[in-house]
Amino acid sequence: MKEYVILVDEQDNPIGSMEKIEAHQKALLHRAFSVFIFNNRGELMLQQRAKKKYHSPLLWTNTCCSHQKEGETSLKAGKRRL
């Protein structure tokens, strides 16, 4: 299944959509979010990206990240991914 991202201008105004991999390959500005989860000692939960990922495989990164769907807020998208 193809995944699409919301292309935006420098003011975050939507200007179209494109398949995720193409937007990443062309380094086009698009909506995305990151989630950072801290425990009560202030420690950050990290994840290691899968070896099969085309973008930054095996690197340690934020708790969770992804892209909003059309009409979806960042908060709803973050909850969906968690």
In 1-82, the DSSP E strands lie at 4-8, 14-19, 33-35, 47-48, 60-61, 64-66
Q: Give the count of domains, the chain.
A: 2
For residue 60, list its beta bridge partners. 48
Q: Are residues 27 and 66 in the same domain?
A: no
Q: Do 20 and 56 share a domain, yes or no?
A: no
Quick: pLDDT tens for 53-64. Answer: 888 999 999 999
Structure tokens at 82: 């968690």
Banded model confidence at residue 23, pLDDT cuts 50, 70, 90: very high
25 and 51 together in one domain: no
Residue 45 and residue 21 share a domain: no
- Indicate whether 23 and 43 sit together in one domain: no
For 28-53, the pLDDT digits (tens) are 999 999 999 999 999 999 999 999 98
- The answer to whether residues 14 and 41 belong to one domain is no
Query: Is-contact 63 72, C-beta < 8 A?
Result: no
Task: Name the residue range of residue 12's domain.
Answer: 1-31
